Chains A and B, each alone.
Chain A
Amino acid sequence: MKLITAIIKPFKLDEVRESLSALGVQGMTVTEVKGYGRQKGHTEIYRGAEYAVSFLPKLKIEVAVKSEMLDAVIDAITSKAKTGQIGDGKIFVTPLEQVVRIRTGETDGDAL
């Protein structure tokens, strides 16, 4: 099993969620986050006073999937979250040791 953590542009959330649902992904966790990458930050100007804002708002989505679904999910996120502009985000994949559904006690593949 794999845990996929993707940082995306906030306005791309709906498209990504729809394409993952279509693949049969059953759940997702979304968090509003701030950070920077190659896009760096931006500048705000108030009556001429400039402030560099280093961290931009992004969304972090976390999806746990069976290993055989990994490539399809990565493809779906990549294609839907892409604008071609700097700042589209990144996808991180980590191995997942154990999953438990709290209500039933099911584990691993059954709990996904």
Chain B
Amino acid sequence: MKIETLKKTGLAALAGLGTLAMTAGAAFAADAPKDPLNSGDTAWMITSSALVLMMTIPGLGLFYGGMVRKKNVLATLAQSFGATCLITVLWMVIGYSIAFTPNADAGLNNWIGGFGSLFLSKVTLNSINPLGPTIPESVYMFFQMTFAIITPALIAGALADRMKFSAFMWFMGLWLLFVYCPIAHWVWGGGWLGTAGAMDYAGGSVVHLNAGTAALVTCLVLGKRIGYGTENMSPHNLVLSVIGASLLWVGWFGFNAGSAVSAGYNAGMAAAATQIATAAAALSWMFAEWIIAKKPSILGMISGAVAGLVAITPASGFVDPVGALIIGLTAGVVCYISAVWVKKAVGYDDSLDAWGVHGVGGALGAIMTGMFAKASINSVYPKGGWLTDGNFDQMIAQFKDVGAVFIYCAVVTFIILKVIDMIIGLRVSPEVEVEGLDINLHGETVHS
């Protein structure tokens, strides 16, 4: 994303010079600097930002809310909604500055952005971030804010049914600042991973592997739900989950096509790749389940669709439609195996499969991006990928990206959780857990 936009700036500057040269003879002294703002790009990016917000509320909230038991529906929705509001404010106060503005110290800038735009002090009416050179900085900041919201909110799938709301809110805030912001800066904000050539179009590693890894650590630290494996924990209303997954699918066009940070060829191809991979993954999960468990479940179809969305996320602006099809078909089967078999074999209680779908799908997508990226689709990476253009070095960059995100996220997430556990405790009492979070934590129930 970063290099692509920088290149665009360069092209825009060249075009500007040409115009200047042509008009220089007539009136070169009177020329005011041309406003770089593109209204089409701006309109699309405001739309994209709203679409990505819709992914979290209500999309993710309903997707997760339908899968929990009836006593915990509102608590699950409260997590999505609460995270959205808290992260919006934190992003305004500090998050945007340390993720997407440069650090004055070039060495430090490899690791973390600057503190120069706290409270968005540098975001003015007509300021522009070079990472989004044709749109107002306010819009770029808003677009990135919606990514910062959904990433921590995804973790809620692993901690469902048993975490204190107070501990959850602390976790969201601290995780945003100590895990998401640095990693976003590493890959997209000018840090070391982006410089090392890692390809992550819309967040396969930054968003999904990152949230999935945190989810895995969280469910291991929290422990299993009371009655896991013996009590019936079947989803209370899959209609909500189908609506949620469908809203995620629609909103994802803001996520992937919006990551072009412009409205042009790249956004169009990213949107097409997203649609193709998602449908392919839903089918491959469905057929895998049909063959193995004998019935094609709707929960399987929507889970496959989300797996496809996740896996195409890092690849969406780099692959052609055939690459998208292969990535989607692979993601549906691999995530089915991870959510259904691996979880059972290893025995962790990743309640709603945040690791099994987002972590595994994100890592898979990141690696497959290195295989199927095509130089002809996105000229920012002229060497392309391994299987398409014979550039094996890209695989190394992708593995480095996946490994770095996994290790950093796992370690820091573990520390954050342990600190919160020591100070206020992570988990509700067994009595509250059995009776339900809705009535005990929020004083409400879904049906009176």
List residues of A whose CB falls within 8 A of some B CB. Answer: 44-49, 51
B346 to chain A minimum Cβ distance, whole angstroms, is: 13
A88 to B344, CA, bound (A): 36
**Cβ of B234 and Cβ of A47 under 8 Å apart?**
no
Among residues of A, the one whose C-beta sits closest to the C-beta of B340 is A48
Contacts of B299 in A (CB 8 A): 46-47
7 closest residue pairs by CB, A with B: A48-B340, A51-B232, A47-B339, A45-B293, A51-B234, A46-B234, A47-B340
A45 to B300, CA, bound (A): 10
A67 to B232, CA, bound (A): 45
Known: A46-B234, A46-B299, A48-B341. 18 other contacts (CB 8 A): A44-B234, A45-B293, A45-B295, A45-B297, A46-B235, A47-B299, A47-B300, A47-B339, A47-B340, A47-B353, A48-B293, A48-B339, A48-B340, A48-B343, A48-B344, A49-B233, A49-B234, A49-B344
**Cβ of A47 and Cβ of B295 under 8 Å apart?**
no
Contacts of A44 in B (CB 8 A): 234
Q: How many residues of B contact A (CB 8 A)?
A: 16
Contacts of A48 in B (CB 8 A): 293, 339-341, 343-344
Contacts of A45 in B (CB 8 A): 293, 295, 297
Scan residues 315-365 of chain B and give those whose CB is less than 8 A from a CB of chain A. Answer: 339-341, 343-344, 353
Scan residues 292-309 of chain B and give those whose CB is less than 8 A from a CB of chain A. Answer: 293, 295, 297, 299-300, 303
Query: Mind listing 22 A-B residue pairs with CB under 8 Å?
Result: A44-B234, A45-B293, A45-B295, A45-B297, A46-B234, A46-B235, A46-B297, A46-B299, A47-B300, A47-B303, A47-B339, A47-B340, A47-B353, A48-B293, A48-B343, A48-B344, A49-B233, A49-B234, A49-B344, A51-B232, A51-B233, A51-B234
A45 to B344, CA, bound (A): 13
Contacts of B233 in A (CB 8 A): 49, 51
* Secondary structure dominating the interface of A: strand
- Contact count A vs B, C-beta below 8 Å: 26
Among residues of B, the one whose C-beta sits closest to the C-beta of A51 is B232
A55 to chain B minimum Cβ distance, whole angstroms, is: 12
A44 to B298, CA, bound (A): 13
Centre residue among A44, A47, A49 by max chain B CB count within 10 A = A47
A48 to B295, CA, bound (A): 11
Contacts of A46 in B (CB 8 A): 234-235, 297, 299
A62 to B41, CA, bound (A): 69
B374-413 to A contact mask, C-beta < 8 Å, 1/0? 0000000000000000000000000000000000000000
B91 to chain A minimum Cβ distance, whole angstroms, is: 33
Contacts of B295 in A (CB 8 A): 45
B228 to chain A minimum Cβ distance, whole angstroms, is: 9
A48 to B339, CA, bound (A): 8
A1 to B300, CA, bound (A): 53
A42 to B293, CA, bound (A): 14
Contacts of B234 in A (CB 8 A): 44, 46, 49, 51
A62 to B340, CA, bound (A): 45
Among residues of B, the one whose C-beta sits closest to the C-beta of A49 is B233
A78 to B68, CA, bound (A): 42
Contacts of B344 in A (CB 8 A): 48-49
A44 to B293, CA, bound (A): 10
B86 to chain A minimum Cβ distance, whole angstroms, is: 29
A47 to B353, CA, bound (A): 9
Among residues of B, the one whose C-beta sits closest to the C-beta of A48 is B340
B222-249 to A contact mask, C-beta < 8 Å, 1/0? 0000000000111100000000000000
Contacts of A49 in B (CB 8 A): 233-234, 344
Among residues of A, the one whose C-beta sits closest to the C-beta of B293 is A45
Among residues of A, the one whose C-beta sits closest to the C-beta of B353 is A47
Contacts of B353 in A (CB 8 A): 47
B308 to chain A minimum Cβ distance, whole angstroms, is: 16
B108-152 to A contact mask, C-beta < 8 Å, 1/0? 000000000000000000000000000000000000000000000
A65 to chain B minimum Cβ distance, whole angstroms, is: 40
A10 to chain B minimum Cβ distance, whole angstroms, is: 21
A43 to B76, CA, bound (A): 27
B73-102 to A contact mask, C-beta < 8 Å, 1/0? 000000000000000000000000000000
Contacts of B343 in A (CB 8 A): 48
B349 to chain A minimum Cβ distance, whole angstroms, is: 10
B1 to chain A minimum Cβ distance, whole angstroms, is: 32
Contacts of B303 in A (CB 8 A): 47
Among residues of B, the one whose C-beta sits closest to the C-beta of A44 is B234
A45 to B293, CA, bound (A): 8
B362 to chain A minimum Cβ distance, whole angstroms, is: 18
B292 to chain A minimum Cβ distance, whole angstroms, is: 9
Among residues of A, the one whose C-beta sits closest to the C-beta of B357 is A47
A47 to B343, CA, bound (A): 10
